[in-house]
Structure 1
Amino acid sequence: MPHSKQLRLGRFSEDQRVYLLTATVEKREPIFADFQLGRLLIAELRAAHCDGLVESLAWVVMPDHLHWLLVLQRGSISELMRRVKGRSARQINSLAHRSGRLWQDGFHDHALRHEEDVLPVARYIVANPLRAGLVKRVGDYPLWDAVWL
């Protein structure tokens, strides 16, 4: 995808910076509509947190994409996403008896400016399933979390 190369231009990783990361499943396949497969991705997010790479603030696994609000602790966001996407793809492909690409190339990142309030961004993330019409209440969607709850 020519556009995915554009996503990398000017990318800079800074420890202790808050980032909103978004990754999309190849061809927008709704693979994470399967709860068990969504939990495999969540396990990789938690592993990155437990390994000290990030402090996860909020995330939601939508049927065909991921939104993840985090504080980068060490490494680069490119290395982090390569790890999460690679490890989750191997696990999911194995469990689902599928092969081939799981994720689209690249990812979108937004470094929050100091004047931006993190809480409204977290609320936006966890309200994604509500806005998409997947549930009537945020609490009814099983594939999200936020440190404030």
Structure 2
Amino acid sequence: MKAQKNAKPHSKDLRKGRFSAPNQIYSVTINIENSIPVFKDFNAARGLINIMRNEQALGRANTLAFVVMPDHLHWLLQLTGQMSLSKVLQSVKGLSAKKVGRPIWQEGYHDRAVRKEEDLQAIARYIVANPLRAGLVKKIGEYPHWDAIWL
């Protein structure tokens, strides 16, 4: 069997046995292929945000917090429908790539199920503070591509 070009060995093995449950909260990071800063473009970033909001309108996922960085996305979300996490993310990645006009996303994503006892607001603060830690802005209010339900 021939290996896929640029595929990480055994990357599909990591997804085996993954289970996503309705109402589960996930912290997700999705990277742009080769760290190209696609979302430095204001309209591209806003387009991604609209696609994420549409997932909520469709009843698939509630957005608790997010930040769209130039070359990746951090998203704290709660699954609400019967669609799995991988299907929700596949939808967001596919629609946003179509909007940009070319494939942009790295294969896969990093996700972590949030335990009930974890402080969601602390996780949200960490997510939205990414532009500060990256040195993109001096105050989070200066960065246009983030939101959290608590703010």
Taking structure 1 as the reference length, the TM-score comes to 0.92
* Aligned counterpart, 2:20: 13
Q: Which of the numbers 99, 110, 113 marks the counterpart of 1:111?
A: 113
Query: Is 1:34 matched up with 2:41?
Result: yes
Query: Is 1:92 matched up with 2:94?
Result: no
Which structure: larger Rg? 2
Compute the displacement of 1:116 (Å). Answer: 1.1
Q: Which of the numbers 47, 72, 76 marks the counterpart of 1:65?
A: 72
What is the DSSP-based 3-state SS (H/G/I as helix, E as strand, rest coil) of the residue aligned with 2:86? helix
Compute the displacement of 1:7 (Å). Answer: 4.2
Code of the aligned partner of 1:81 = L
The CA deviation string for residues 60-79 of structure 1, in whole angstroms up to 9 with x for no partner, is: 00000000001100110000
For the aligned residue pairs, the C-alpha RMSD in angstroms reads: 1.2
The aligned length equals 143
* Aligned counterpart, 2:125: 123
Compute the displacement of 1:10 (Å). Answer: 3.5
CA distance in 2, matches of 1:65, 1:35: 14
* Aligned counterpart, 2:3: none
Give the gaps of 5 or more residues in structure 2.
1-6
Taking structure 2 as the reference length, the TM-score comes to 0.91
Q: Which of the numbers 41, 53, 62 marks the counterpart of 1:46?
A: 53
Give the gaps of 5 or more residues in structure 1.
94-98
CA distance in 2, matches of 1:7, 1:24: 17
